[in-house]
Structure 1
Amino acid sequence: MKTTIPYTRDLVLVGGGHTHALVLRSWGMNPLPGVRLTVINPGPTAPYSGMLPGFVAGHYTRDELDIDLVQLARFAGARLIAGKATAIDPVGKTITVLGRPDIAYDVAAIDVGITSEMPRLAGFADFGIPAKPLGAFASRWDAYRTTATAPKVAVIGGGVAGAELAMAMAYALRDKAPQVSLIDRGEVLDGFDPPARNRLLTALEELGVTLVEHADVEDVRADAVHLTDGTLIASDFTTGAAGARPHDWIADIGLDLHQGSLVVGVTLQTSDPDIFAVGDCAHLSHDPRPKAGVFAVREAPYLFDNLRARLSGGKMRNYHPQKDYLKLISLGGKSALAEKLGTARRGALLWKWKNHIDRKFMDQFDTLPVMQQPLPLRMATGVIETMGDAPMCGGCGAKVGRGALQGALATLPATTRKDIISLPGDDAALLKTGGETQVFTTDHLSAVTIDPVLMAQITATHALGDVWAMGADPQAAVLSLTLPRMSAQLQQRTVTEITQTMARNLGGAALVGGHTTMGDGLTIGLSITGLCKRTPITLAGANVGDVLVLTKPIGSGTILAAEMRMLAHGGDVLACYKVMIQPQDTAARLLKEAYAMTDVTGFGLAGHLAGICEASGVGAHVRLSDVPLMDGALDLADAGIRSTLYPDNRNDPRVTAPDTANAALMFDPQTGGGLLAAIPKAKATALAKKSNVWIIGDIIDGNSVTFS
C-alpha cells in the first residue's frame, strides 16, 4: 500500500523578496514533509534590486531583472497567491488578501520590503513614478526610455539609490541630450566618507547630471518639479528614491515595532514566535543594520532552518550580521565604485565583478535543478508509450481523450424516458421537469493549480460553460471534492476556502450540497442545473452562411503544460488563469440569438467546432490569423510544447489544418474556455464591436472543418 504523508501544518511566506526567493529554492531541494507551503506576492515576479540600475541603464533586459515566482513556486511545491497581503491576525492566525477568503497559517514569514513616502507628496501620485515597488517602476521606465525624444528626468532623493538611478538614466538617454536632475533637501551623498563621495560626484558630473541641493519640493507637475522657493525643475519623468518607510499595514498587526519596522531577534522571530520577518521590513534588535540587500540574502539559510525548526520542533540557529559589507555602486555605464571601511575604488573591472555577482545570484533561479524521481528499471509493457516524452500534464484538467470517451459512450443504450430530450454530443442533458426545460451537466477537474481558491474559480467557470452554451440560467450546484491527505484542521481550512469561493462564483446558482473524500491530489467536481427560459441553443442549428464567433483566446492547455515543466513565463501563466476564470454569462447574453453554440474545452477549438458541424450537417472554415491566442501560447507551441490530450485531439479525421504552431493551438484542450457560436451574418458586425468577441470564420457547405 502506498504511503502518503498528510499535510498537517501551513507555512505562509508573505512577500517574494530576496530572502523568501532563496528559501523557496532551498525548500524545493529539501522540503519538510507534512508542510503545505504558500507564498503571497502582488505579481508573478520579484525584481532583483541589485540589477535595477543596470536595467535602467540598458545593460539588462526586464526578464534578466526578474525572479519568476511562478516557476519558483512550482519548483518548491508551493501555491502562489497573486495578491497583496493587507492584514495579519496573529490571534486568529489568518492573513487577509483582498478578493479571496482569509488564508490560515501555523507559521508565517514576512518579506515585503519597504514602500515610499513619495506618493504622499503633492502631485506625485498623478505625475510621479516611485522607485518602489520595483516592478511598476521598471515597466514605466522601459516605456519612457524607448519613446522619449527630448527627455527631462528628475530624481528626488540624493542618497546612493537616487544617485545610481540618476546616473543610469543619464547613461541610457545619452544619445538624446537628456536633462537629468538629482534633487535633495540636503547635500547629495552626504552619508559617504570623502573618498567615496568625491568619486561618485565626479561620476555624476561626467554624465551631465545636475545637482539640486538644499531644495524642498512643493509639488510634482506633469512637466516639472516645483520647489518651495518657486523654482521649476523641468521633468516629464519624475521618480523618487527618498522617504523609504515600512508598509502601513505592518503597524496594525500588533507586534513590536521600531520606527514602523518589525522587531526581530537572533532567530528572526518577531514578538510573536510564529511570525518571522526578514529583509527591509525587519529591524534586527540585537544588532541593527542599514537596509541593504546583502543582509536579506545572508538571512536566507537561517530563515530556512528556523522555519523548519518551528514547524517540526527542532533547534533554531542564531543570525549575527557582519559588521560591514562591500558596497558596489553602479556608475551608469559599465563601471562601478567599490567602497568598504572608508576605502573607495572605481573602474570597469569593478563593474565586471558586480555583474558576475549579480548574474550568479540570478542564475540560481534561472537554472533550477531537476528534482524528478527516477523511473523503475522494470515496468509493464506500454508504460513508456502511455507516458510519452513528458509528465502527464494538467493543462486539460486531466481529462480522458476524445477517442476513449466517445468509444465508451457509444456502448450506452438509448434512453426511452419521455422527460429526457436526447441530444447526442451536446454540452448538457435537457430534462422536462414540471413544464420547465432544465439543463443538467457535470464536470470534474484534477487540479491545474494547487491553490484551492483559484482551482474552485476555474472549476466553476468550466462547469458553468455547458449551461451558458445552451442559453440557460444557472440554478443549483452540488460539489464533489477530493482533498489530498491532510489533518482535520487543514481539511476544514481547505473546504472553507473552496466552498466560500464556489458560493461567490456560480453565476447566480445556489450551492446546495456536496460530497467530500480524500485521495492522492486535489480534484473538484460540480454538477449544475440550469433553467432554459427559451428554446435551448444546441449544436445542431448552424446554417451555411453563418459567422463563427469566439469569446475567449486559445492556449490554456499549452501554457499550463509548460508551467508544469517550469517552461512558461510567470506573467503569461497568471494572465492565462485570469482568462480561465472569466465568467461567460455576459458573453452568453450577447449570443442569445446564436443558431448553434458550445463551450471550447477538452476537445480543443477544432474538435468542438467539428462537433457543431457534424450535428448541423455543415462544414466550416476558420482563419487562423483571426483566432485570438493567449500571451505566450504561440511561442510555447512553436517550441514544441503540447498538452497530454493534444495527440488525440489532432487525430480527428474531420479536421484539416497545416502543420504549424498556430494550427497546433486549434487542437489545444482548454479548461474554462470561451463560447463558440454560429450566428447570423447580419448580427456579426454589431458583435464585432464588443470586447472579448472575435469573428474567426464561417459556416460553409460540406462536412469538413478547415483551418488556414
Structure 2
Amino acid sequence: MHAPRLPLTRDLVLVGGGHTHALLLRMWGMQPLPGVRLTLINPGPTAPYSGMLPGFVAGHYNRDALDIDLVKLARFAGARLILGAAEEIDPEARRITVPGRPAISYDVASIDIGITSAMPELPGFADFAIPAKPLGEFSASWDAFRAGTEPARIACIGGGVAGVELILAMSHALRQKNRLAQATLIDSDTALSVLSSQSQSRLRKALDAQGVTVLEQAPIDRLSEGRIHLKDGRDISSDFIVGAAGARAYGWLATSGLALHDGALVVSERLQTSDPHVFATGDCAYMAHAPRPKAGVFAVRQAPVLFHNLKAMLAGGAFRSYQPQQDYLKLISMGGKSALADRNGRSFSGGLLWRWKDHIDRKFMGKFTSLPVMSPPALPRVHAKGMQEAFGSKPMCGGCGSKVGRTALRHGLSTYHGASRPDVTSLPGDDAAQLTVGGTMQVISTDHLRAFTEDPVAMTAITAQHALNDIWAMGARPQAATVTLILPRQTPELQERLLSEIMETAHQEMKAAGAAIVGGHTSLGEELTVGFTITGLCDARPITLAGACAGDHLILTKPLGSGTILAAEMTGQARGAWVAGALDLMCQSQRNAAKVLRPVARAMTDVTGFGLLGHLQGLCEASHLGAEITFDAIPLMEGARDLAEAGVRSTIFDDNAALLPGIGTAGTRALLVDPQTSGGLLACVAPEHAAQVFEQLKNYGYRAAKIGEMRGSDEGIVPR
C-alpha cells in the first residue's frame, strides 16, 4: 500500500537568511522533523557571506562567489521561501508581518537578520553614503562604483576591524586599475582598539602602504555630496563613502515587546528570547549569559545548538546550552592576497594566512554549493510493465502550466466535438467558451495548477494570473470567479492559516482584475493545488484564434523561459535570482496589456503549457495561415538561455517538440516549445497599429516584442 504523506502539525518560521539559519536549513534538509512546515523569510533570493566580502571588494572573488543561494537551500530543506523583509513580530498573536502579503503565523520562530551600519542620526548619511551592512546593498553599490574609469576618492567611516578591512580592500581594487586618488579612514575615537598592539602595528603599516590616511579622534558633523564635514572644521572629499561604524540592530525589533540590549534581542544559553517560542541568533542577538563582540564565528557555532533546540521545542525533549569560547582566531584581510591572524594577543600576517582564510571561506561556502540533486523516487522491485516510461526521466516540475501533453489531449478528446447548445460556443483551441446570455456575450474558462513553489501567496497569485489570461485573451473583462483548492493534510489550525493566506491573496488578485469571488470548493489531497473558474463579459465580439491576416505583426507581451527555469529549480540547477525573477514575471498581470491589445488584435491567445510554437500553431490553424518568427527578437527570462544551452528541459518538452517535427529545438531554440505558466499574450496586430501598441505596452512596463509576422497558408511556421 502506498504510504500517505504525513500531515503537517506545526509552523516553524525562520526570519532572515543569516549564517546560522543557512547552516540550519542544510541540517534540516538532511534530518527534517516530520510534521513541521518550515518557512524562511528573507528580503532576497540570496544571502551574502560576510567572510568573503573583503575579498570580493578587493577583486579576488566575483559577485556570485559571495552569495548563499537561499532558493536552492530552501528547496533542499523542503522549506517555503518568502521573499520580503519582515517588519514586525507579534509574540502574543504569534504572527510576523511582511509588507504586501498576509501575516505569517508561527508556532515557533527564530530570528537571524544581522545588523545594519546605517547612521540615521548623522545628517546626510542616507543621501550621500552607503552602510557596509546589510552586505547585499553595499556590495551592489561598490560593484557599480568600481566599474568606472576615472580617478576616485574613497572614505570609510569607522576604524574598527570591519572598516579597516574595507578601506584596504577598496584601495587595493582601485590601485589595481590605477584609479586611486585618495583614501581616508575616519574614526571618532581610536582605530583598531579591540586588537593587540602587535596586530594594530601590522595593520597600520598596511594602511600606510596602501596610501590610506587615518584620521582619529575626528567626529563627523555632517555629509554632503562628495564631502565629509568634520566637527573641527576640516572637509574630506570622497566620491564613495561607506559607513562601518555604529552597527546596530534593526529598528523593528524594538516594537516586538521582547527583551532588548542596545536594540539586540536578549537570548539565554538556549538561544531563546524573553518569549520561549522565539529564538534569535547571530549579530541581532545579545548573549546575556556570555556577552561577546559581534563575530561570524559565534553565529556558525550556534547553528547545531539552534537546530537541536528548535526540534526540542517542536517535538519535546531536552534542550542544549550554547557556551561561546572566550577568545577566537581573527583572520583579517589586508587588501591584497595577504591576511593577519590575531588571537590571545599574538599576531601573524602574510600570504600563507590569506590562503588559509581563503580555504576556510571556500569550504564554508561549499556546504551550500554541493547540495544533493533531487532524483526521482525509486520504483518498487516488482512493478507493472511501462511504469518506468510513465514515470519519465525527470521530476514533475509543475512549470508546464500543469498541462497534460498535447498528444494525449488531442487523442483523448478526439471524440469531443464542442458544445451542443445554441447559446454555447466552444471551439477547440480557443482560450474560453462563449456563452450567450440574453443580449450579453459571456466567456468562461477554468485553470488549476499544482504547487511548484512552497509559498502559497506566490502560488495563488500566479494561478490567478494564469487563469485570468484566458479571459484577457478573448478580449473580455473578468466578472466572477470561483476558487477550487486541494489542501495537503494538516491540522485544522494550519489549514486555517493556509486558507487565510490563499483567500486573502485570491481576493486581492481578482479585485484588481475587476472580478468578484463568488464561491468555491475545498478538498484534501497529497499536495496543494489552486484553481479558478472565471467568467468574463465582452463588449464586442470575442477575440479568438481565428481572424489573423497575412502581414499581421506577432506581438508577445512577456518573456519565455518559466518551464525551463522551474524544471532547473526542482533539480538545484537554477540560480535563486533567476527563479525569483521568473516568479515575479509569472505574477505580472496582463490586464493593461489586454487593455492595449483589445481594440486592435485580430486574433489573440496566451502562451502556456504548449509553448510559444504550440500556441502559435493553434492560431495559424484557426486562421488558415502560416507564420515567420525571428528567434533573436523573442524576449527571454534571465537564466533561461543558459539553462536551455545546458540541456535543461521541462517535463512535457518532448511532447511539445514532437508536434512540430520539422522545427529544430536544439540548444537555446528549445525555448520555442518550452511550456509556460502564466505566460504572455500573443496577438496578431495590423502593421499600422504596431508602433502605437509597442509604445503603450512599454509605458505599462511590459517586456513586449514583435517576434514575427503572419504569412500565407502554405508557409507553415518558419523560425529565423
TM-score (norm 1): 0.98
Q: Hey, what does 1:468 align to over in structure 2?
A: 472
Question: For residues 228 and 484 of structure 2, what CA distance do their matches in structure 1 show?
Answer: 59
Matched residue count? 707
Deviation at 1:656, TM superposition (A): 4.5
Out of 530, 550, 564, which is 1:544 matched to? 550
Cα distance in 1 between the residues matched to 2:472 and 2:419: 25
**After the TM superposition, which of the residue ranges 448-457 and 393-402 deviates more from structure 2?**
393-402
Residue 431 of structure 1 corresponds to 435
Select the residue among 189, 192, 208 that pairs with 2:192: 189
C-alpha deviations, 1:247-282, integer Å up to 9, x for none? Answer: 111011101111111111111011111000000111
Of 576, 582, 606, the match for 2:588 = 582
Alignment of 1:95-106 (within 5 A): 95-106=96-107
1:530 partner letter = G
Matched, 1:666 2:672: yes
8 Å Cα contact 2:195/2:342 also seen in 1: no
- Counterpart check, 1:353 vs 2:359: no
Contact 1:656 1:707 in 2 (8 A): no
Deviations 1:660-704 (A, max 9, x none): 423210100000101000001001112223322211110111241
The correspondence for 1:261, drawn from 264, 277, 283, is 264
C-alpha displacement of 1:177: 4.1
Is 1:161 the counterpart of 2:181? The answer is no
C-alpha distance in 2 between matches for 1:573 and 1:75: 15
| Contact map agreement 1:395 1:560 (CA 8 A) in 2 | yes
CA contact (8 A) 1:245 1:260 kept: yes
Q: Structure 1 residues 375, 232: CA separation in 2 closer, same or farther (over 3 Å shift)?
A: farther
Separation (CA, whole Å) in 1 of partners of 2:160 and 2:378: 53
Q: Displacement of 1:370 after TM fit?
A: 4.5
> Does the Cα contact within 8 Å between 2:118 and 2:126 map onto a contact in 1?
no
Superposed, which structure 2 residues align to 1:693-708 within 5 Å?
693-703=704-714, 704-708=716-720
Residue in structure 2 matching 1:635, options 633, 637, 642: 642
Deviation at 1:215, TM superposition (A): 1.5
Is the contact made by 2:418 and 2:425 (CA closer than 8 Å) also made in structure 1?
Answer: no
* Aligned AA (1:484): P
Candidates 379, 382, 391, aligned match of 1:378: 382
Q: In the aligned structure 2, how far is the partner of 1:157 from the partner of 1:377?
A: 65
Q: How does 1:277-296 map to 2 (within 5 A)?
A: 277-296=280-299
TM superposition shift of 1:421: 2.0
Q: CA deviation at 1:533?
A: 1.1
When structure 1 is superposed on structure 2, of 93-102 and 658-667 the one drifting more is 658-667
State the match for 1:615 in structure 2.
622
Give the structure 2 partner of residue 644 of structure 1. 651
Shift of 1:658: 3.2
CA deviation string 1:24-63 (max 9, x = no partner): 0000000000000000000000100011000001111111
Aligned to 1:681: 687
1:613-634 deviation digits (Å, cap 9, x = unpaired): 1000111111001000000000
CA distance in 1, matches of 2:108, 2:438: 54
Structure 2 residue corresponding to 1:624, chosen from 612, 617, 631: 631
In 2, are the aligned partners of 1:656 and 1:706 still within 8 Å (CA)?
A: no
1:84 maps to which residue?
Answer: 85
Amino acid in structure 2 at the alignment position of 1:439 = V
Q: Say whether the 8 Å CA contact 2:118–2:133 is kept in structure 1.
A: no
Larger deviation: 388-397 or 603-612?
Answer: 388-397
Q: Whole-Å Cα distance in 1 between the matches of residues 491 and 246 of structure 2?
A: 46
| In 1: Cα distance, 2:354 partner to 2:314 partner | 42
Asked if 1:249 corresponds to 2:252, the answer is: yes
3-state SS of paired residue (1:198) = helix
Q: Secondary structure at the match of 2:147?
A: helix
* Conservation of the 8 A alpha-carbon contact between 2:149 and 2:179: no
In the alignment, the residues of structure 2 paired with residue 607 and residue 659 of structure 1 have an alpha-carbon distance, to the nearest angstrom, of 13
Residue pairs, 1:137-286, within 5 angstroms: 137-174=138-175, 175-178=177-180, 179-286=182-289
TM-score by structure 2 length?
0.97
The 1-side partners of 2:364 and 2:53 are apart by 14
How many Å apart are 1:231 and its aligned residue?
A: 2.2
Q: Please give the alpha-carbon distance, in whole angstroms, between the structure 1 residues aligned to 2:276 and 2:163.
A: 36
Task: Assess if the C-alpha contact under 8 Å between 2:373 and 2:571 holds in 1.
Answer: no
Contact 1:119 1:130 in 2 (8 A): no
Q: Which residue of 1 aligns with 2:419?
A: 415
Which runs of structure 2 are paired with 1:595-606 in the superposition (5 Å)?
Answer: 595-606=602-613
Q: Distance in 1 between matches of 2:203 and 2:372?
A: 40
Q: After superposition, what is the alpha-carbon deviation per residue over 1:585-624, rounded to whole angstroms, capped at 9, x for unaligned?
A: 1000110110000010001110111111100011111100
Q: Give the SS at the match of 2:564.
A: helix
Q: Quick check: 1:624–1:662 contact (8 Å CA) kept in 2?
A: no
Deviates more, 1:141-150 or 1:247-256: 141-150
Alignment of 1:291-330 (within 5 A): 291-330=294-333
Contact 1:158–1:187 (Cα < 8 Å) also in 2: yes
Deviations 1:529-552 (A, max 9, x none): 000011111100100010000100
Partner residue, 1:42: 43
Q: Distance in 2 between matches of 1:230 and 1:511?
A: 65
Q: d(CA) in 2 for partners of 1:600 and 1:40?
A: 31
Q: Distance in 2 between matches of 1:13 and 1:314?
A: 21
Aligned-pair RMSD on alpha carbons? 1.3
- Kept in 1, the 8 Å contact 2:267–2:288? The answer is yes
Tell me the secondary structure at the aligned position of residue 601 of structure 2.
Answer: coil
Query: Which amino acid counterpart does residue 620 of structure 1 have in structure 2?
Result: A
CA–CA distance in 2 between the matches of 1:222 and 1:645? 56
- Aligned 8 A contact 2:259 2:274 in 1: yes
Please state how far the C-alpha of 1:211 moved relative to its aligned partner.
Answer: 1.0
Alpha-carbon distance in 1 for matches of 2:15, 2:353: 35
* Structure 2: distance between partners of 1:294 and 1:220: 34
1:423 positional shift: 2.5
Alpha-carbon distance in 2 for matches of 1:35, 1:367: 25
**CA drift at 1:232:** 2.1
1:520 to 2:526 alignment = yes
Which AA in structure 2 matches 1:137? F
Tell me which amino acid in the other structure corresponds to 1:304: F
Query: Which of 380-389 and 635-644 deviates more?
Result: 380-389
* Pairwise CA distance, 1:115: 1.3
Give the % identical residues.
58
Structure 1 contact 663–707 (Cα < 8 Å) conserved: no
Give the Cα separation in 2 of the matches to 1:3 and 1:355.
46
Match status 1:29 vs 2:37: no
Shift of 1:119: 4.2
Q: Is the 8 A contact 1:656 1:705 kept in 2?
A: no
1:476 & 1:120 partners in 2: Cα distance?
51
Query: What is the CA–CA distance in structure 1 between the aligned matches of 2:362 and 2:668, rounded to whole Å?
Result: 35
Mark the runs of 5 or more structure 2 residues left unpaired by the alignment: none
One-letter amino acid of the counterpart of residue 299, structure 1? Q
For residues 397-422 of structure 1, give each alpha carbon's deviation from its aligned partner in whole angstroms, at most 9, with x where no partner exists: 43201111122222114433111124
Q: Could you say if the C-alpha distance between residues 580 and 33 of structure 1 is closer, same or farther in structure 2, counting changes exceeding 3 Å?
A: same
Q: Deviations over 1:617-654 (max 9, x none)?
A: 1111110010000000000000000001111111124x
Q: Contact 1:397/1:447 (CA < 8 Å) preserved in 2?
A: no
Cα distance in 2 for partners of 1:549, 1:109 equals 48
Residue 127 (structure 1) aligns with: 128
Task: Provide Cα deviations, 1:470-513, integer angstroms capped at 9, x if missing partner.
Answer: 11110111011001111111011101110110000011111111
Q: Unaligned stretches of 5+ in structure 1?
A: none
Residue 469 to residue 120, structure 1, CA distance change in 2 (3 Å): farther
- Aligned residue in 1 for 2:59: 58
Aligned equivalents of 1:18, 1:400: Cα separation in 2 = 41
Offset of 1:388 from its aligned partner?
3.0
Contact 2:597 2:683 in 1 (8 A): yes
User: Matched residues in 2 for 1:526 and 1:452: separation?
Assistant: 15
